[in-house]
Amino acid sequence: MFKGFGILAAATLTLAAALPAQADKLDDIIASGTLRCAVVLDFPPMGSRDANNEPIGFDVDYCNDLAKVLGVKAEIVETPFPDRIPALISGRVDVGVASTSDTLERAKTAGFTIPYFAFKMVVLTKDGLGIKDYADLKGKKTGSVSGTFEALALEKDVKKWGDGTTFNGYQTQADVFLALSQGQIDATVVTSTVAAAIVKDGKYKGLMMGGDAPYDIDYVALIALRNEQGLINYLNLFINQQVRTGRYKALYDKWIGLGEAPDLTIAGVYR
Amino acid sequence: MNYTFHWLPAFRAVPDMLAGALVTLEIATLSMVLGVFFAILLAVGSSSNYRALRAVAISWVELARNTPALFQIYMAYFGLGSLGIHLDSFVALLAGITFNNAGYLAETFRGGLRAVPPTQMRAARSLGMGQIQAFRLVVMPQMFRIVFYPLTNQMVWAILMTSLGVVVGLNDDLTGVTQELNVRSFRTFEYFAMAAVIYYLLAKFVTASARLMEWRLFRY
């Protein structure tokens, strides 16, 4: 009797010890009861803070939705653009809901889902500088958030134009707007959603739209660790369900609301 | 560990990072030259008989030494910017670090000046030198011998402070280049590790050249 119990106990212990080793990130999240999302909070309307300093925005709601279907509590971890990967690698967050452009260069490092949002780029400038479209940026002082999709595209054109055109890369979107409103730079290229939000908000005086930027559409994806296929699989299905159930459209209307929500698919290819 | 280091692509970025290191060295050197110039004025000014001069010198030193360098650089860019004075990123960083350097060096120089016995001045004057001539030819050389070590230290500190340039949009110094490589490819740890090594070597290079200069300058 006692001997049998001993074997049983040993077997249970072995099993219990073996289980966590097999658990993947998805299991870990469910077991821990908390989903920690990296969200950029100076990127309205995707992420920002309300009057009570609480995180709000499309990405915040998106994280909450994800936590709900996982049956866990959401924890929003404010993460500036350059810190998204260190936050993921160091285990401070489980997923990045942070408008991350899915470049092939980055995909060597991070695991990307299918796109969950898409951005169009516009020029944002100041009253009275006479910048009406993208071509007017030639010879002007420009700037953007260092290393972002639009910064890379703009910097490439600035180098091509030469002729006194300058580019400054800032660390945060807030610094770009501050520099623009103070006249340190004449124009920036940002996502149309951010531009609309910042012009409407009126916190920075005299900002105005300066036409569309002729860039490709910037598809952004959720990110997780590259080897967490189980989690990425779940996230892909979640994104699919968000669109299917109409939740994507609802969130788009709530936070952006400029007509149709952008199409997340590209005709002619899978994914 | 859920991260595999990709050293090979990272090593290809070394030429870009070295070009960034050159900008870093340039800013640090300029800020030291300017810093020493202002620090001498401040050291003399803080013991001046003119009250206004003394007030300016003392407040400069107090502000420079008791507020973070990050704020000083941020103020040079965005602070002055809000008043309609636009420094570009390079100049703003240079101004910020110079302000900080001058503050610290002024205290070093003040200590150095006090360590030169007042009898030296009297002796020089009794040989018929003027006040400024005596200061330049007798007191200053002795002071520089005393403050040489702390000066080297400050130069190393200036190099490290240039990394704060990213907050004012500087993207061609070592930290700027590194940060951009980081966001572009997300290979944070490789690039930061290499940047750390380059900063370390820069600092060592400064210390070694200082040793060499010291040996050439101060031998009897």
Please indicate whether residue A59 or residue A83 has the higher confidence score (pLDDT). A59
What total number of domains does chain B contain?
Answer: 1
DSSP A263: P
| Count of beta carbons in the 10 Å neighbourhood of residue A7 | 10
* pLDDT less than 50: residues of chain B: none
Res A11: pLDDT: 58
Task: Tell me how close the Cα of A2 comes to any Cα of chain B, in angstroms.
Answer: 41
On whether residue B188 sits in a domain, the answer given is: yes
Does residue A1 surpass a pLDDT of 70? Answer: no
Give the separation between CA A113 and CA B220, rounded to whole angstroms. Answer: 71
- Give phi and psi for A208, each to the nearest 5: -150, 160
Give the separation between CA A108 and CA B40, rounded to whole angstroms. Answer: 53
pLDDT tier, A87 (very low <50, low <70, confident <90, very high otherwise): very high
CB of A81 within 8 Å of a chain B CB? The answer is: yes
The predicted model gives A189-208 an average pLDDT of 87
Q: Which residues of A touch B188 (CB under 8 A)?
A: 85-86, 89
Task: Flag if B169 and A170 touch (Cβ within 8 Å).
Answer: yes
The predicted model gives A147-157 an average pLDDT of 91
What separation, in Å, do the N-terminal and C-terminal C-alpha atoms of chain B show?
A: 58
pLDDT tier, A4 (very low <50, low <70, confident <90, very high otherwise): low
- Give phi and psi for A166, each to the nearest 5: -120, 160
Q: Which residues of B touch A89 (CB under 8 A)?
A: 2-3, 188-189
Task: Flag if A178 and B188 touch (Cβ within 8 Å).
Answer: no
On whether residue B69 sits in a domain, the answer given is: yes
Does residue A123 surpass a pLDDT of 60? Answer: yes
What are the residues whose beta carbons fall under 8 Å from the beta carbon of B61, sequence distance 6 or more? Answer: B42, B46, B103, B106, B107
Give the separation between CA A207 and CA A124, rounded to whole angstroms. Answer: 7
Peptide bond into A45 cis (omega under 30): yes
Chain B, nearest residue to A152 by Cα: B184
CA atoms within 13 A on the CB side of B127: 10
Give the pair of three-digit tokens for residue A235: 């996230």
On whether residue B2 sits in a domain, the answer given is: no
Reduce the DSSP state of residue A94 to 3 states and report it.
coil
Q: Tell which residue, A39, A68, A66, has the closest CA to residue A54.
A: A39
On whether residue B3 sits in a domain, the answer given is: no
pLDDT tier, A201 (very low <50, low <70, confident <90, very high otherwise): confident
On whether residue B165 sits in a domain, the answer given is: yes
On whether residue B1 sits in a domain, the answer given is: no
Taken in order of first residue, the domains within chain A and their CATH numbers are 25-119+219-256 (3.40.190.10), 121-212 (3.40.190.10)
Res B32: pLDDT: 96
Q: Tell which residue, A118, A157, A152, has the closest CA to residue A134.
A: A157
pLDDT tier, A135 (very low <50, low <70, confident <90, very high otherwise): very high
Res A17: pLDDT: 56
What separation, in Å, do the N-terminal and C-terminal C-alpha atoms of chain A show?
A: 58
Res A12: pLDDT: 56
Does residue A171 surpass a pLDDT of 80? Answer: yes
Task: Tell me how close the Cα of B170 comes to any Cα of chain A, in angstroms.
Answer: 6
Res A96: pLDDT: 97
Res A167: pLDDT: 94
ipTM: 0.81
On whether residue B156 sits in a domain, the answer given is: yes
pLDDT tier, A260 (very low <50, low <70, confident <90, very high otherwise): confident
Res B92: pLDDT: 96
Q: Which residues of A touch B84 (CB under 8 A)?
A: 183
Q: Are the CB atoms for A150 and A175 separated by under 8 Å?
A: no
On whether residue B99 sits in a domain, the answer given is: yes
A238-248, pLDDT tens digit by residue?
999 999 999 99
- Amino acid letter, A99: S
Residue B138, domain CATH: 1.10.3720.10
Task: Flag if B183 and A148 touch (Cβ within 8 Å).
Answer: yes
CB of A144 within 8 Å of a chain B CB? The answer is: no
Residue B213's domain comprises: 8-217
Which pTM value belongs to this model? 0.85
